[in-house]
Amino acid sequence: MSGTEEFTQQNRRAWDEIADLRFRNMGWPGPDFYRDGGILLDPVVLDAAGDVVGQRLLHLQCATGEETLSWAVAGAIATGVDISRRQIAIAAEQAAATDLSAHFVAADVYNLPAGFQQEAFDLVYTGGGVLVWLPDIWQWAQIVAAALRPGGRFLLWEEHPCAQCLWVTDGVLEITSDYFGRQTPELGTG
């Protein structure tokens, strides 16, 4: 077994193990939220994507599918893929309780179903926090490119959790909370 395959297997087991607990603790909205037109995508992401109505969208590393469902609310024909079978099962349960055009597939992003790698999608999207789980970003980028139709677009929304501790007010960057969860931010010098 190669290092990438071993990493992939460990990653799958870990996400399967925590899927239910993570879904409960994140406080995600239920199917009613999406049926009522709710969208959890950042407005910056929606703006970057533009009009997605009727577009075939592939959401890589979709976890439990909240953003995938949001893309479907925005009008995309959305397909979410994740390595965790349990997370995909949760996503599919959520989707089944809506009338949205969202489908979910359990697959390794390095080994997508054949039809996904034949210029099948108008937009490939991946959300925050996924790059760290990729042992071979170059291979992943080739897979993204193969999934896109000619003229298709790739949208990556990534940020480090540290960004949640910072805020810009009147052009000044401020520390607003502590990355390590302590009560008061500790400002260092030097």
For the segment 18-68, what is each residue's pLDDT rounded down to a tens digit? 999 999 998 889 999 999 999 999 999 999 999 999 999 999 999 999 999
CATH, residue 146: 3.40.50.150
Looking at the domain assignment, is residue 170 inside a domain?
Answer: no
Looking at the domain assignment, is residue 184 inside a domain?
Answer: no
Looking at the domain assignment, is residue 61 inside a domain?
Answer: yes
Looking at the domain assignment, is residue 99 inside a domain?
Answer: yes
Looking at the domain assignment, is residue 21 inside a domain?
Answer: yes
Weakest-pLDDT range from 61-75, 76-90, 105-119: 105-119
Task: For residue 118, name the pLDDT band (cuts at 50, 70, 90).
Answer: confident
More confident residue, 187 or 70: 70
Torsion of Cα atoms, 12 then 111 then 132 then 49, to 10° = -120
For range 60-89, the mean pLDDT: 97
Amino acid found at 58: L
Task: For residue 184, name the pLDDT band (cuts at 50, 70, 90).
Answer: low
Looking at the domain assignment, is residue 174 inside a domain?
Answer: no
pLDDT for residue 81 is more than 90: yes
For range 129-142, the mean pLDDT: 90
H-type helices in 63-154, by residue range? 66-73, 85-96, 137-147
Q: Which domain holds residue 16?
A: 3-160
Looking at the domain assignment, is residue 185 inside a domain?
Answer: no
> Which conformational region is residue 151 in: left (phi greater than 0), alpha (psi within -120 to 50 degrees), or beta?
left
Task: For residue 178, name the pLDDT band (cuts at 50, 70, 90).
Answer: confident
Torsion of Cα atoms, 182 then 185 then 186 then 190, to 10° = 140
Domains contained in the chain, number: 1
Looking at the domain assignment, is residue 19 inside a domain?
Answer: yes
